[in-house]
Structure 1
């Protein structure tokens, strides 16, 4: 039952020689000749292109908050406006009294109600919006909007969007199928007469909520129903093809447009994605069908940089108070996003859950879900790959893809269950960048990183890795990541600690060709013979590796909008100034260009004599970086790998978290989490995490560390 988890940290213990430095992921350098990947069609080959790499790099965050522009419009997302006893779904049912009070408060406090036409004009033609702009939207076309919200909307002359599901309105009477609620009486939805009355006022703009995709479709072999817009349907042992997927999305959106035109005389110009789920294919199809605007449930502000197809909304729930409304608006006006929320992350081995016996596997998964209910974490870093021989390179994955053997189609199942059955709000896929071990019959398996002059003076990096300078390698890895995006539901990607090239790597033919393009000697030996070339080479390698990682994140984000990036970083990279040249890694660049840098602050693994000083030195280094505290996760060890993975004392683990909080650290993760032996202790972990407010902005002034 208890699987041997991938002990990546043990690999590092082998690497640890007299040169005790480790891994990080880096980013941008002022050299235009850095490689990137072309912005190609999803199934075409991917090759390095300097201009595209730089263009992509510019989309990354390089300050604490990615977008420093002011919030231009706050968009509120309502559902039912009714009393709790009459609601279909009480979670999102706002009472008529509360709705009226919220509109009154907005009116009295100088907010300006704008329409979707105003927002489209702003985005497409640069027509200015008024200050303190707010837009009101309703999802699902509930009759309670007409009964209870419409009088208030008329009173204050508030323009609004109501997103309609055609298949729910087409039924004249009886029950309509509703994914979340089973079946709902047709009388709960707007009538044709009510819609026409509100449309004739000029206040209502129709939104398309799809014709029949406010529903779930089977998304994996285990039978999970997942949002129909983004899920590739699984049936009879196969996933639908990309061609059939796009045909299905197109047919549904067109059918809804045609129905609404015949039903109301109006065609929607905005699509409102059910459950907030969309991707590049669906939004492109919507735009082609005359709906350039898209309303989502993505987190954050709507600034000048927010695309028209990805407008962000505040999801209003039943207990939404005036104070809550003010907080949400202030949160967005302060340009805050999820980086303002503390990270409490469990780093979980999917190897622990996997079992060839399906019944045992479900038992394992149930135990994990029960554990996460009371663990106090809001983030999970979930292993998506497997390493059967424990050599540090992935030889299998837990999702379908064209190149890497699939151990089992399990990742999507577990990630979805965590997202929908536990308090965890973010699931990151933990993935390697270049540490892949391909089947021997794949000719690309020979395109490996080459080190020169292996002897006792050279640091053994430990990981078998594919050369990132090989176009075929980049194409293959990109397609693997694209498959992860298509066949899973995730909020982020955690890059494994394999993004590294030593100062004796890479001397492969593909690397030599790239060095020549950079204007360097074509061999590692030649580069090492010249100090100036060596320094430039180090920086170029750092950029090259990070930009490849960022390219993969961009590919993932086309399927998983709002995707966050994180990367594991060994502690010594934060502590030793020689780390960049030894490992082609940089802490400062990682902090600037990734959403989070997860430093593996593991003193037992590092054989640190004074653990408190070890933590303090890392924290001091992090604080020296702009946005270091805001964008750094301290990842702690829960076992001592030197002593056969013996669990560390609970008191030591929790006290370390308190000490780090006292030093000013906001974000904490730990590895590994073992559901079968309750390590770390569930209650103790919950209690210590609960001592820190959920939002950084609510945290008292930190003590000096």
Structure 2
């Protein structure tokens, strides 16, 4: 039956939309590339047809198809030693290198995989959980929420045999960290290796957390030495979850090479501290496996962002708060967006200054231990990336601290955010601690630096700032003196702009020390005011620079808010903003943040208007955009109205 013309046209348009929204993120294989594949349990259904299939389990027949595909297409399975030799410049990797890894130490590796490795002459890495192997015969292994018979896992005798063969590299999968522990007061279970444990008595502090992880690594290596005669050279992270802190602790324990579950091609020139792997299961098609081997996997890079205030979720009544969270999760899950910018600080009066925080920390009140729960639920239930929306300097610590001072007033300007002066060493230490605590006690994918990250052309005029200008930058010891000379003003602006960029980078490093790495490296975004895009002179008014931000951060979030900027023609203003921004910064580095509230009278911007703005900026070439704030309690903006211009799952002629 012939397809009607209009249906075919709709299908073509839908395909074009799909391709436009899913930009390719590959360049094919490069010299030194190696595709690392992650397998788990293998079952032989011909022998045991009723065997239970756990997640990531594949059949023996499927594994044989994979091995045959590798041989037929000319790919070359390599050993870990070959990867390390190539990294050290001893011997290059063969073209089309593939590294096969098998997690958890199942008996099937010895019974099924090892004979196939010998048959095909393939090397592999087997990662074992020491505590599971130390369970006595006849007893049960605690495996997540299940219990498996000890016979389901290999024995040390079998591991010794394979280790002696030179074909199998035995790696650590930790001694006893392959489980989820309670990571917050709400009972969310999170990977034990990267979570500060919560009990009714409180959280593990950083020192106790490090001691627990180091002891596990020590115990794992001790058992390897006792049973195999040598320690492990590599760590395979349970659930693929690791942090900068665990990378260092693994290296200290003799395992500088580690493997996660970030789906990416690895290259020996990038080092081998944290190698990505492609996780495969029974549903992984041979076609997709070919794309993995060839380095032709696709990753949607277009971002659709909802900016959420945790103040909307918080409620002193736990039942109402739980209800609020459910409404948020249901909305985000159905929305078809990629990212949530989630407020991590409390700002009940709406002045943009953190009066408290939504996570445990060393310096400020905790309004509620809420950020970790909401971020984790958004990641796991709604499948979005979560950026922690954090101030750069706008933390109200009360009296006794130096805040950014305005030359004209001789004190903080009440018309600007109340900001800690970052030129004061103690202030920098406190803010660094706050960001480190964010990474230790919560789970998130990126950071959005708040729009408090600016200095006016009269700031900072405090004593510490003046000393900094004079001693470190060679400027006159007074803002009034600097302002009298255009060249000095330009130098001062450039120095302040660079200072804030460097400061935010330091804060990102602090947040990343203990942060769970389960998908990718920490992503950063920073707000920039629209006048900085439209008027070059405004750089001095804010100490912000569009091109410098594009170089420093993954995304520059332009505050594309026409009503806030007093635009006479909102659409014309947005088109100009998009044109000027795209003329200076690539589209994949830009995010446009639209306003869902008209702050002139605190009324909601009509959903139809917001949808029209989205269409305008998209047609102008802006790929990544979102809005602030999302009033999920009152369904504003209306997701149904925005869907066509906003949802990534929307398709012509189909329901998402």
* TM-score, with length taken from structure 1: 0.82
Cα shift readout 1:576-629 (whole Å, capped 9, x = no counterpart)? 221211110011111121011111212222232323222221221232125x20
Out of 575, 579, 582, the position equivalent to 2:534 is 575
Cα shift readout 1:219-253 (whole Å, capped 9, x = no counterpart)? 11222221111111112322123332222112212
Q: Counterpart of 2:140?
A: 175
Q: Counterpart of 1:47?
A: none
Out of 316, 326, 345, the position equivalent to 1:385 is 345
Look up the SS of the partner of 1:437 in the other structure. Answer: coil
Look up the SS of the partner of 1:676 in the other structure. Answer: helix
Out of 211, 219, 222, the position equivalent to 2:186 is 222
- Larger deviation, residues 239-248 vs 356-365: 239-248
Alignment of 1:518-667 (within 5 A): 518-560=473-515, 561=517, 562-626=521-585, 628-649=586-607, 651-667=608-624
- In structure 2, do the counterparts of structure 1 residues 322 and 663 end up closer, same or farther at CA, with 3 Å as the change threshold? farther
Cα shift readout 1:633-674 (whole Å, capped 9, x = no counterpart)? 12222232334332422x333343344333332212221112
- In structure 2, do the counterparts of structure 1 residues 329 and 535 end up closer, same or farther at CA, with 3 Å as the change threshold? farther
Alignment of 1:322-333 (within 5 A): 322-331=286-295
Look up the SS of the partner of 1:642 in the other structure. Answer: coil
Out of 52, 57, 70, the position equivalent to 1:106 is 70
Out of 187, 203, 225, the position equivalent to 2:167 is 203
- In structure 2, do the counterparts of structure 1 residues 358 and 307 end up closer, same or farther at CA, with 3 Å as the change threshold? farther
- In structure 2, do the counterparts of structure 1 residues 439 and 451 end up closer, same or farther at CA, with 3 Å as the change threshold? closer
Shift of 1:83: 7.2
Alignment of 1:138 onto 2:97:
no
Distance in 2 between residues matched to 1:230 and 1:131, nearest whole Å = 35
Shift of 1:548: 0.2
Alignment of 1:281-296 (within 5 A): 281-296=245-260
Distance in 2 between residues matched to 1:616 and 1:479, nearest whole Å = 41
Q: Which has the higher contact order (CA 8 A, sep 6+)?
A: 1
Q: Counterpart of 2:626?
A: 669
Alignment of 1:74 onto 2:35:
yes
Shift of 1:110: 2.9
- In structure 2, do the counterparts of structure 1 residues 299 and 264 end up closer, same or farther at CA, with 3 Å as the change threshold? same
Shift of 1:160: 0.9
- In structure 2, do the counterparts of structure 1 residues 221 and 328 end up closer, same or farther at CA, with 3 Å as the change threshold? same
Shift of 1:268: 1.6
- Larger deviation, residues 97-106 vs 354-363: 97-106
Distance in 1 between residues matched to 2:81 and 2:377, nearest whole Å = 39
Distance in 2 between residues matched to 1:685 and 1:485, nearest whole Å = 33
Shift of 1:304: 4.6
Alignment of 1:117-128 (within 5 A): 117-124=81-88, 127-128=91-92
Distance in 1 between residues matched to 2:482 and 2:265, nearest whole Å = 47
Q: Please say if residues 478 and 552 of structure 1, whose CA atoms lie closer than 8 Å, have aligned partners that are also in contact.
A: yes
Look up the SS of the partner of 2:219 in the other structure. Answer: helix
Unmatched runs of 5 consecutive residues or more in structure 2 = 1-24, 652-656
Unmatched runs of 5 consecutive residues or more in structure 1 = 1-63, 695-705
Look up the SS of the partner of 2:231 in the other structure. Answer: coil
Alignment of 1:682 onto 2:639:
yes
Distance in 2 between residues matched to 1:591 and 1:692, nearest whole Å = 28
- Larger deviation, residues 149-158 vs 231-240: 149-158
Q: Counterpart of 2:18?
A: none
Out of 237, 242, 251, the position equivalent to 2:206 is 242
Shift of 1:82: 3.5
Look up the SS of the partner of 2:133 in the other structure. Answer: helix
Shift of 1:482: 0.7
- In structure 2, do the counterparts of structure 1 residues 256 and 293 end up closer, same or farther at CA, with 3 Å as the change threshold? same
- Larger deviation, residues 307-316 vs 536-545: 307-316
Q: Counterpart of 1:24?
A: none
- In structure 2, do the counterparts of structure 1 residues 252 and 87 end up closer, same or farther at CA, with 3 Å as the change threshold? farther
Distance in 1 between residues matched to 2:26 and 2:582, nearest whole Å = 16
- In structure 2, do the counterparts of structure 1 residues 128 and 71 end up closer, same or farther at CA, with 3 Å as the change threshold? closer
How many residue pairs match? The answer is 616
- In structure 2, do the counterparts of structure 1 residues 670 and 550 end up closer, same or farther at CA, with 3 Å as the change threshold? same
Q: Please say if residues 386 and 394 of structure 1, whose CA atoms lie closer than 8 Å, have aligned partners that are also in contact.
A: yes
- Larger deviation, residues 502-511 vs 295-304: 295-304
- In structure 2, do the counterparts of structure 1 residues 65 and 491 end up closer, same or farther at CA, with 3 Å as the change threshold? farther
- In structure 2, do the counterparts of structure 1 residues 197 and 657 end up closer, same or farther at CA, with 3 Å as the change threshold? farther
CA RMSD for the aligned pairs? 2.8
- In structure 2, do the counterparts of structure 1 residues 507 and 459 end up closer, same or farther at CA, with 3 Å as the change threshold? closer
Distance in 2 between residues matched to 1:481 and 1:459, nearest whole Å = 25
Q: Please say if residues 74 and 332 of structure 1, whose CA atoms lie closer than 8 Å, have aligned partners that are also in contact.
A: no
Look up the SS of the partner of 2:507 in the other structure. Answer: helix
